[in-house]
Amino acid sequence: MHTYTRRYTGPLQAVIMDLAGTCVDFGSLAPIQAFLMLFEAEGIDLSEAEAREPMGTEKREHIRRLLAMPRIRKQWSSVFGKTPESADIDRLYDAFLPLQTAAIAERTKLIPGAMTLQSWLREEGIKLGVNTGYSREMVNVMLPGLAAQGFELESVVVATEVPQGRPAPHMSLKNAIELGITAVQGCVKVDDTATGIEEGLNAGMWTVAVVASGNAVGLSEEQLAVLNDADRAELLARGHRAMAASAAHYVIDSIADLPNVLAEIGSRLQAGECP
């Protein structure tokens, strides 16, 4: 019995990006702000580093993972006299929604390079979609702000509308279906978290990790700009090391660097390489 294999050597078809920390909300600060406020209201001390650890996951799952952390769990037991239960996760999620929605509404500014990237993709005939750990209600608060800046997306997928959020490939695959993609090898997933890169790898796509604007650094554009050159370089180097560990095919500072990487991926595809 003969088996025939045919490699994909067609063009790059789509770029699928995460939202916060990748193409909007430099530093991915909106979710962090909301999580810190949520736990403070419960009398729980949550550090920013702890809040960032599950970033990229669907937000209810994010809360579940925070409550599973030994230090947080211990505090919860001492405040409430019992370990956290699923009803607590439900209650926290309900309290989280308005906090997150308000924070998102304040942080809809595009990351520098987003509009140049959109123009480049249109010229090349490459489709653009996004997916996110946000719920549909949260995303709906953000989209008008993006549209007002001229950023137009052909597919928007949220974690609560697929069977499994990241690191499962479901969101990226739903993007691919909505965008009319014929081969996942012709898609690139761009993300600022390891779990988002894992999602892209699990979907069989090329992956590009962004560092300066995202979760690995966690500073606003202004905060990063005021650092001296040595401190900024050290912070970025640390972020590059962290995201390289995600096994992303490429690690870049921000989406401003993406067109060059996409051109290289296009050449690799035509040469018969697959992710």
For each successive 10 residues of the chain (275 residues), what is the average pLDDT? Answer: 68 97 95 95 96 92 96 96 96 95 94 98 98 93 95 96 96 98 97 97 98 96 96 97 97 97 96 93
Q: Which of 25, 59, 127, 191 is catalytic?
A: 59
Q: Sign of dihedral through CA atoms 40, 46, 47, 49? A: negative
Q: Which of 18, 191, 192, 257 is catalytic?
A: 18
Residue 215 domain-assigned?
yes
Start-to-end Cα distance in the chain: 28
Q: How far apart are CA 54 and CA 100, in angstroms?
A: 16
Same domain, 244 and 156: yes
Same domain, 223 and 249: yes
Predicted pLDDT at 203:
98
Domain that holds residue 24: 14-28+107-270
Indicate the number of domains in the chain. Answer: 2
Which token pair is 244?
């390289």
Angle (nearest 5°) at CA 267 between 195 and 172:
25
Same domain, 112 and 34: no
Predicted pLDDT at 22:
97
Predicted pLDDT at 7:
82
Residue 204: CATH number of its domain: 3.40.50.1000
Residue 236 domain-assigned?
yes
Residue 76: CATH number of its domain: 1.10.150.240
Same domain, 116 and 187: yes
Q: Last residue of some domain: 75, 106, 137?
A: 106
Predicted pLDDT at 48:
94
Q: How far apart are CA 59 and CA 72, in angstroms?
A: 17
Same domain, 87 and 123: no
18: annotated active-site residue: yes
Which token pair is 80?
């409430």
DSSP string computed for 87-133: HHHHHHHHHHHHHHHHHHHH--PBPTTHHHHHHHHHHHT-EEEEEES
Sheet of strand 155-158: strand arrangement: 155-158, 127-132, 14-18, 187-191, 206-210, 250-252
Same domain, 91 and 129: no
Residue 1 domain-assigned?
no
Residue 158 domain-assigned?
yes
Same domain, 143 and 67: no
Q: What is the CA radius of gyration of the chain?
A: 19
Q: Last residue of some domain: 106, 129, 146?
A: 106
Residue 164 and residue 133 in contact, taking contact as beta carbons nearer than 8 Å: no
